[in-house]
Amino acid sequence: MPYQPKKKPMMEKSKMKPMYKPKKELSVLQKRLMKEHKKHHTKKHLEEMTRLMKKGFCFQQAHDKTMKKVGK
C-alpha cells in the first residue's frame, strides 16, 4: 500500500475569527447586501447577521454562522 499523507482537518466554521475590527455601524456595502438578503430570510436571521457583522465578521462568515445557529 503506497504512503498517503494525512490530510490536515479544515478549520471548523464555528471557530472562525472576525476578519475586521468591531464597528458601531454597518458599511454602505453591507447595508445594501442586507437589503437584498432581507427578501430570503427571517427578521431573527437578519438581526443575528447584523450583530456578527458589527463584531467584525464579513458578510459571508456572518451568514454561515447564522445559518447554523438560527437557520433561515
Is pTM, for the whole model, over 0.85?
Answer: no
Distance CA 15, CA 24 (A): 23
Q: Shortest CA distance to 67 belongs to which of 3, 16, 24?
A: 16
For position 9, what pLDDT does the model report? 58
Instruction: Tell me which amino acid residue 5 is.
Output: P
Residues written for the chain = 72
Cα–Cα distances in angstroms (integers) from residue 18 to residues 4, 7, 43, 65, in the given order: 34, 25, 23, 11
Distance CA 55, CA 46 (A): 14
For position 62, what pLDDT does the model report? 92
For position 3, what pLDDT does the model report? 73
For position 8, what pLDDT does the model report? 58
**Low pLDDT (below 50) residues in the chain:** none
Instruction: Tell me which amino acid residue 4 is.
Output: Q
